[in-house]
A and B are shown apart, each in its own frame.
Chain A
Amino acid sequence: MKLRKNLLALSTLLLLGGWYAALFMVGADKDQGEVYRIMFVHVPVAWCAFVWIITGGVYGALALIRKSHAQRFDQGGQAAMELGTLFSALALATGMIWGRPTWGVWWDWDPRLTSTLVMFLISCGYHILRSYTPDVAQRRNVAAVTAILSGVNVPLVYYSVNLWRSIHQPQTFTRSGSQASADISATLWTNVFLMLFFSILVFGLRRLSIKATERLNAARESL
């Protein structure tokens, strides 16, 4: 418990360091000015949303395939999908805050924005279905199928800027190289990895809290 808390405190400090670099050390963008600094938090949360929703889908598939360990995979899936939902909401919120000064609107029914909203809504559906399915085995199956559906949607969100005409900028980092300067790339990647590290620690804590709660409920029911 103490080790996990200390690691979380360390990752929080590192993340705050990354944010300090993004806010006060990197120069302004020649096209967007200072508002582009939102990208250093928007891109990491969007990547974390992708990672955790895909992880939720993988846990869902494992829960269906390996029935003997279904409880463990279900707990991991729930924690991953919670993080996926949270990060999807944050990606939408930070994107909207950036969109207002840059595009002049909070929202546009653009392919990237719409598919991200769909990703968020499917992950909300996951939690609603969990809450309204009282039977444990049925809940695990329903949750697993919804998590897989949510995970399958992620590549569609990622490639939406290439598949359809979009006002959202295309991928900055492609196989042919980066469209950003070296200092911007370094700060962005640092923030992506620090956010991912922080989210992995939070995932571990949340998975343990779900496990402890389920164990307590099982003990109470066994009386």
Chain B
Amino acid sequence: MTEGYGNIDWKFFVFFAYGIVAVTLGAYAIFSIKRWESAEKSFAEEGFSNEELEEKN
């Protein structure tokens, strides 16, 4: 029935949809990893330890 819309080929719609999902999920996964690594690195670099933190709490 539908192979596109007007002069726009069906491939535009299909690859646009997959592209949006790939970019968004990829960016979110990378963001999660970077935030985790950054927080762990700062915790170690600033000289904190889990034991010390538990004692204070």
Please determine whether B33 and A205 come into contact, CB atoms closer than 8 angstroms. Answer: yes
Residue in contact with B39 in the complex, picked from A31, A198, A212, CB distance below 8 Å: A212
Please list the residues of chain B having a beta carbon within 8 angstroms of any beta carbon in chain A.
1-5, 8, 10-11, 13-14, 16-18, 20-21, 24-25, 28-29, 32-33, 35-37, 39-40, 42-43, 46, 48, 50, 52-53, 56-57
Is chain B's binding surface mostly helix, strand, loop or mixed? helix
Determine if A32 and B16 form an interchain contact, defined as CB atoms under 8 angstroms apart: no
* Bitwise interface map of A from 21 to 44 toward B, beta carbon under 8 Å scored 1, else 0: 001000000011111011001100
| A-B pairs under 8 A by CB, number | 108
Q: Which of A42, A104, A205, A219 meets B17, CB within 8 Å?
A: A42
Q: Which residues on A are within 8 Å of B, measured CB to CB?
A: 1, 5, 8, 19, 23, 31-35, 37-38, 41-42, 45, 82, 86, 89-90, 93-94, 97-98, 100-102, 104, 198, 202, 205-206, 208-209, 212-213, 215-216, 218-220, 222
